[in-house]
A and B are shown apart, each in its own frame.
Chain A
Amino acid sequence: MSEGTKPETSQLTNKELKELKKKEKAAKRAAKKESIGIKPDAPQRRGGDRPKTASNIKKQINQSKTQSETLKIPPLFGHLETREQRISSTPPQLANIVHPSILTLCLKYSTFKIVGSTHRCQAMLEAFKDVIESYKTPEGTSLSRHLTGHLSHQIEYLKSARPLSTSMGNTIRWLKQEISLISIDETDEQAQLILTEKIDVYIKEKIEYANIAITDSTIQHIVDGSTVLTFGHSQVLLHIFKHVATELNRKFKLVIVDSRPLFEGKKLATELSGYPNISCQYIFINSLSSILQEPVDVVLLGAHAMLSNGRLYSRVGTALIAMSAHKRDIPVLVCCQSIKFSDKVQLDSVTMNELSEGQDLLTMGSKPTKRNGFALEQFLKEKRTQKEEESKGKKNSNNNNNSNSNGVSLTKPEDPLANYREIDNVTILNIMYDLTPPEYIQKVITEVGSLPPSSVPVILREYKGNSSNS
């Protein structure tokens, strides 16, 4: 049988290939049209139900485009979305309906002006308040139906800056439910008032009061004269340290472990520098093993998300710290609000993660990386390629070495890897998060109490039940 079908299959594949090519061409044409600014009928888009095929094809094209460019990520992490992919996959016409405060927020997210899951979530809610306040229900629909769609567009745009954090996801889910609960009879003003009030209450309850509750159950672990080790920056931990130093007037030593390229620990160190009761020690994660030779009483960690299998998803480096502390029998405590609890299950930090710019790892110096906006970068890139082409045109017959030296001259000469995109055998990986297994975590402190990491699903269940009841 197989012998008989052989020629047929080859024919079929040829046909298929042709068809595929046709499709691709059509898609490219469509994409071009879109990028020029011809909108495929807008009302359809507003419905929130974008034609799936078009966007899918666009995504494919985008991927093929970036892959044909120099994609300098280790193959294992190739499935993670790069910033370019993220930006090109958001429809450009979205920018027209995005609220200015969302635009500002996006910029702050993508330049890492606002980092940290809680901080990001709070900033997002504030921006949403602006969006809701300046929102007008179009005729023919009701607020409870249309506003969610409108918000979705804003969120879609937000995602282009950085992927949503778990706390943001949970918050958005909550907000959408609140919107859907608003009765049709309310006027816009009334509904806006209700929603902004609800958002304020949410920030108060889920973030501010949660911080206080978490502080209350954590302070017993920071006694007078103890040594605490922490990693990076966390809003809750900052609150705890301040509280212990001022309200309880306890003296303690704080070891702040920091890492490149975000230098979040510096933020914590500067915030705590005015407190005489805290003697801070700032170290890099590289010297962790030597600092753990000295007695450390407890390790306090912040979280990006607590997954339902008890694993902690947090800034890359956390797992290393938890493991080292566990090996030395130092209790590892995680402080985290219940909005960061996720029903996801993840077994490794490869399948889902956030990819950041590889360039950030290369910038020397101790300042957090300053990043240009995407548009500006694109512009600079274009200029650079133009220049290169010009120079190539001039020295047509010259060998590659010259063009290479040309690339170097554009960037700082002291960075040996500055032109890593041109070096074939170099890839750079800058991931944002890692996963800490539950064995290394002694307890998770939330506003509803302390629990072992194995009990995360319980909180999820109870918490979800509560929110649906109220």
Chain B
Amino acid sequence: MSSEFDITATYLRFLEDDPDITMPIAAIESLVTLLKIKQPSTSAELITLLSGAISELKTSVPNAISLSAGCDLFMRFVLRNTHLYSDWESCRTNLVENGQLFIQRAKESRNKIAEIGLPFIKDDDIVLVHSYSRVVCNLLIRAFQKHIRFRVICTEARPTETAKSDTMAYLLRQAGIPVAMIYDSEVGFFMHKVDKVFVGAEGVAESGGIINHIGSYQMGVLAKNANKRFYVVAESHKFVRMFPLGPDDLSIKKKLEFSTEDKPIETRHLEFTPHEYITALITDLGVLTPSAVSEELIKMWYD
């Protein structure tokens, strides 16, 4: 067997090959591939192999929050199920099969979310979206296919490179939805025109707050101030067992540098939006209040 299996490369390849795949799923998929290739012979070996790969992934990928959700989920699944089988071979094949089943289900969950989120979009709505999110995009297109007539305001989500914001506008326009693009600093200006706000998430924290592309927090605050509903659309495998109190608690810490000379602006890509600004989370488990997230997480981890 190939001894130098590069987990990070596999992960990045999965992401590249399939533009529709999310980071946690890609992580799980690469872990499953690792299991297929390496074929560990004891459970101890399996666990050390997996935890090694996971820590390698987490350190080598700069934006590891949503990835770690997938890794932790898979690890949890492995730890819980290894002792269920009497013989080792069936256990291993079962793990691989289950991992693939999980990936399959996760891919379907986006459609399920679109189904669940449909009633939230009504005729004549003006929907504000932020940055590019596959789930949100999928939901909006599905709503349009169901002949709901609505318009979308799309922010530029400036420093975020990964989520090319015009992708969102481009995809929606191609589907036939009228879209207006605005600068991020114009959110406050247009907030009173908006009926509801939809954002995706990189990760959903235990409090129900979300980790998302920069700009979501201010959007949440403005929406709350204007009494507009602020919905988060996210798959349940993006739920992470972390509880940040503010942006400082995210692993992506960046200090402000003060200087009297001219310096280019340092960019930050992710930020934390506390739960009090979120009206509801539209997930494949149903529509949840922010406080229900920790319930789902505890169920996932302590069942």
**Identity of the chain A residue whose Cβ is nearest the Cβ of B241 in the assembled complex:** A449
The one of A298, A443, A448, A466 that contacts B243, using a Cβ cutoff of 8 Å: A443
Interface size range of chain B in the complex:
10 to 19
**A458 and B243 contact, CB distance less than 8 A:** no
Q: What 0/1 pattern do residues 232 to 250 of B give for CB contact below 8 A with A?
A: 0000000001010110010
**B206 and A466 contact, CB distance less than 8 A:** no
**B302 and A466 contact, CB distance less than 8 A:** yes
Chain A residues with CB under 8 Å of B302's CB are: 448, 462, 466
A170 within 8 A of B: no
Segment at the A interface, from B79-87, B129-137, B182-190, B290-298: B290-298
Give min CB distance, A311 to chain B, whole Å: 14
Residues 238-284 of B contacting A (Cβ, < 8 Å) = 241, 243, 245-246, 249, 275
B22 within 8 A of A: no
The one of A331, A451, A458 that contacts B245, using a Cβ cutoff of 8 Å: A331
Chain A residues with CB under 8 Å of B206's CB are: 449-452
Q: What 0/1 pattern do residues 92 to 112 of B give for CB contact below 8 A with A?
A: 000000000000000000000
**Identity of the chain B residue whose Cβ is nearest the Cβ of A298 in the assembled complex:** B245
- A448 and B249 CA atoms in complex are apart in Å by 20
Q: What 0/1 pattern do residues 312 to 336 of A give for CB contact below 8 A with B?
A: 0000000000000000000101000
Chain A residues with CB under 8 Å of B249's CB are: 220-221
Contacts A220-B249, A442-B245, A466-B302 known; A455 to B295 CB distance under 8 Å? yes
**A458 and B295 contact, CB distance less than 8 A:** yes
Contacts A331-B246, A443-B245 known; A462 to B275 CB distance under 8 Å? no
- A50 and B245 CA atoms in complex are apart in Å by 52
Query: SS class of chain A's interface: helix, strand, loop or mixed?
Result: mixed
**B245 and A454 contact, CB distance less than 8 A:** no
**A454 and B298 contact, CB distance less than 8 A:** no
A459 within 8 A of B: yes
Q: How many A residues have CB within 8 A of the partner chain? A: 18
**A455 and B243 contact, CB distance less than 8 A:** no
Residues 171-191 of B contacting A (Cβ, < 8 Å) = none
Chain B residues with CB under 8 Å of A454's CB are: 291, 294
Residues 194-211 of B contacting A (Cβ, < 8 Å) = 206-208
- A331 and B299 CA atoms in complex are apart in Å by 26
Residues 414-470 of A contacting B (Cβ, < 8 Å) = 442-443, 448-452, 454-455, 458-459, 462, 466
- A338 and B206 CA atoms in complex are apart in Å by 17
**A452 and B208 contact, CB distance less than 8 A:** yes
- A455 and B207 CA atoms in complex are apart in Å by 9
- A442 and B294 CA atoms in complex are apart in Å by 14
Contacts A452-B291, A454-B291 known; A462 to B245 CB distance under 8 Å? no
**B298 and A448 contact, CB distance less than 8 A:** yes
Contacts A449-B206, A451-B206 known; A459 to B298 CB distance under 8 Å? yes
Chain B residues with CB under 8 Å of A448's CB are: 298, 302
List 7 A–B pairs whose Cβ atoms lie within 8 Å, in order of A's numbering. A221-B245, A442-B245, A449-B241, A450-B243, A452-B206, A454-B291, A454-B294
Interface of A toward B, CB cutoff 8 Å:
220-221, 298, 331, 333, 442-443, 448-452, 454-455, 458-459, 462, 466
The 3 closest A-B pairs by CB, nearest first: A454-B291, A455-B294, A450-B243
Interface of B toward A, CB cutoff 8 Å:
206-208, 241, 243, 245-246, 249, 275, 290-291, 294-295, 297-299, 301-302
> What would 11 more interface pairs be, CB under 8 Å, given A443-B245, A449-B301?
A221-B249, A298-B245, A333-B245, A442-B207, A443-B207, A451-B207, A452-B207, A452-B290, A455-B291, A455-B298, A458-B295
